[in-house]
């Protein structure tokens, strides 16, 4: 009865209307791989026409639902985002199954969720056997999920306004999400314009560097969305090009930066960029880790510059949670592997397309620890945590602490379930961190030269949920469980 009442309290008319628009957008996006199907004569037309018809047939009626209650609360926004991503993934997996490139639906769903969440973990053992249409759709899901499909919907949905802030906050990665301009719709448009521009520049640079145009599109989608699906069995390393490695390294790092920084650059507010603590910490961590790993692995390569090249690419791909690989870092010394594992947990900047805990959360947690230690030494000390010269309110600090606890608790539960597959410790632990952090490759069996095909169906389902939880930062997915829990009665202080 409690669960039923909680579900009834949700603003279902607005939630279903949002899902309707999401499905219409997904149908439009499916047209692109359908065009590729005709261009390369893949003969998989119905594998895309049928999902398009299902999306339109369901989405159009739902989008016409009108609500008497125009306001959307935080719980409605969280529920709408979580449900939208689940529905989008369920239907997005159909082309792989219908074309029989991935005949097993659980495997296809794992691959699709990995794409939309920009994780890059794969069950495929022979990627190049896929049709051009499916290769394109597989990489395109990264680009769609990178910025967030609901951010795009906010930009085009009729009547969207600042009351839909809860939706954007639920989907945008990071502890905070600020408006670039007073109107949320304008903010969403600005973000997508920057995203599209950087993607086009990357496509052109890869093409100029000798990468075929189709390959350039697919790898640009994976880089922009920080996803990591390659269309080659050997990954980016298969091109054996220093130029391509450098270009992708630079752009992975660029897409790992908070997109607000690019807006500040466009507005010539350079001080806002260079005084940003998260940005400076992010760059500092990248440079330090590249140098440490390069020094540690230099004996494995002909010279230090070569070691620097591979260290730079792998640090960029892991901290931005992209997941591309140019070498097998499984064979690197333990010191370098530990650094990469720590970067897996850390992730990129808030407001970027990257995953992980985010650098800003890490900074605030460190400042919180420092402040608590100072208060132990000086109990009368009155001080506050600040970021970029602004006071961080206690509520945000509590939210970040709660998020970290939820993140670790959920990760440990997933590790316990995946351990039933009886893989080695390295594979078991890093496979979960790779999925919940949306990184892609882990170590061991699921390393950069391996995949997730040998995991059981139970583990694949658990890891699929982990990818969704990681991309949506726990709460939009956890909200489905909360209604089952009885409320905690808090006693008032006397």
| Nearest in space to 122 (alpha carbons), one of 486, 447, 394, 492 | 447
* pLDDT for residue 309 is more than 70: yes
Both tokens assigned to 28:
């439009």
Mean pLDDT, residues 119-139? 94
Q: What pTM, to 2 d.p., does this model score?
A: 0.90
* pLDDT for residue 177 is more than 70: no
* pLDDT for residue 478 is more than 80: no
Helix H or strand E segment including 391: strand 390-391
What's the pLDDT score for residue 494?
A: 44
The CA distance from 15 to 77, in Å, is 8
Q: For residue 225, give every residue at least 6 positions away whose Cβ sits within 8 Å of its Cβ, in sequence order, or none.
A: 118, 142, 143, 144, 145, 146, 147, 255, 353
Give ∠ CA 449-454-457 in degrees, rounded to 5: 135
Q: Which of 77-110 are b and which e, b meaning 16 or more Cβ less than 10 Å from the residue's Cβ?
A: bbbbbbbbbbbbbebbbbbbbbbebbeeeebbbb
What's the pLDDT score for residue 37?
A: 95
**Mean pLDDT over all residues of the chain?**
86
Q: What is the pLDDT of residues 367-405, one digit of tens each?
A: 888 888 888 887 776 677 888 778 888 888 888 888 888
Lowest-confidence range among 219-233, 258-272, 310-324? 258-272
The CA distance from 235 to 51, in Å, is 29
The CA distance from 133 to 38, in Å, is 9
Mean pLDDT, residues 330-352? 91
Q: For residue 333, give every residue at least 6 positions away whose Cβ sits within 8 Å of its Cβ, in sequence order, or none.
A: 296, 297
What's the pLDDT score for residue 208?
A: 96
* pLDDT for residue 25 is more than 60: yes
What's the pLDDT score for residue 474?
A: 74
* pLDDT for residue 130 is more than 70: yes
Name residue, tokens 């097993």. Answer: 104
DSSP code, position 164: G
What's the pLDDT score for residue 380?
A: 74
């Amino acid at each position: 009865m409690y669960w039923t009442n909680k579900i009834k309290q949700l603003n279902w008319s607005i939630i279903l209307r949002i899902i309707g628009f999401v499905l219409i957008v997904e149908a439009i996006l499916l047209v692109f791989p359908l065009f590729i199907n005709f261009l390369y004569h893949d003969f998989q037309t119905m594998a895309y026409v049928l999902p398009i018809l299902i999306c339109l047939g369901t989405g159009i009626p739902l989008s016409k639902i009108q609500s008497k209650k125009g306001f959307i609360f935080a719980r409605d926004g969280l529920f709408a985002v979580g449900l939208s991503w689940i529905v989008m993934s369920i239907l997005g997996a159909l082309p792989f199954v219908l074309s029989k490139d991935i005949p097993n639906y659980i495997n296809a769903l794992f691959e699709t969720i990995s794409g939309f969440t920009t994780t890059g973990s794969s069950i495929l053992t022979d990627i190049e056997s896929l049709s051009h249409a499916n290769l394109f759709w597989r990489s395109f899901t990264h680009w769609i999920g990178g910025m967030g499909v609901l951010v795009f919907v906010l930009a085009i949905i009729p009547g969207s306004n600042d009351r839909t802030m809860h939706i954007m906050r639920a989907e945008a990665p990071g502890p905070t999400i600020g408006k670039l301009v007073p109107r949320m719709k304008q903010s969403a448009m600005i973000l997508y314009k920057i995203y599209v521009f950087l993607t086009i520049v990357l496509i052109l640079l890869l093409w100029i560097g000798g990468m075929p145009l189709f390959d350039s599109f697919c790898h640009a989608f994976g880089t922009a969305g920080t996803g990591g699906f390659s269309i080659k069995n050997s990954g980016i390393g298969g091109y054996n090009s220093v130029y391509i490695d450098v270009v992708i390294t630079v752009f992975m790092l660029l897409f790992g930066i908070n997109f607000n920084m690019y807006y500040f650059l466009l507005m010539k507010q350079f001080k806002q960029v260079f005084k940003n603590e998260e940005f400076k910490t992010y760059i500092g961590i990248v440079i330090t880790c590249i140098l440490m790993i390069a020094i540690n692995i230099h004996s494995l390569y002909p010279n230090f510059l070569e070691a620097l090249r591979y260290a730079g690419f792998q640090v960029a791909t892991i901290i931005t949670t992209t997941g591309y690989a140019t070498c097998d870092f499984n064979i690197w010394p333990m010191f370098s592997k530990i650094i990469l594992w720590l970067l897996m947990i850390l992730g990129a900047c808030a407001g970027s397309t990257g995953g992980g805990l985010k650098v800003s959360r890490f900074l605030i947690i460190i400042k919180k620890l420092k402040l608590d230690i100072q208060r132990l030494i000086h109990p009368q000390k009155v001080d506050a945590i600040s970021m970029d010269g602004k006071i961080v309110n206690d509520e945000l600090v509590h939210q970040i602490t709660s998020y970290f606890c939820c993140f670790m608790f959920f990760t440990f539960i997933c590790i316990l379930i995946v351990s039933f597959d009886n893989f080695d410790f390295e594979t078991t632990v890093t496979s979960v961190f790779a999925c919940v952090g949306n990184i892609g490759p882990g170590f061991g069996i699921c390393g950069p030269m391996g995949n997730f095909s040998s995991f059981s169906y139970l583990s694949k389902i658990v890891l699929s949920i982990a990818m969704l939880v990681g991309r949506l930062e726990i709460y939009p997915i956890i909200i489905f469980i909360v209604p089952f829990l009885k409320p905690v009665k808090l006693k008032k202080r006397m």
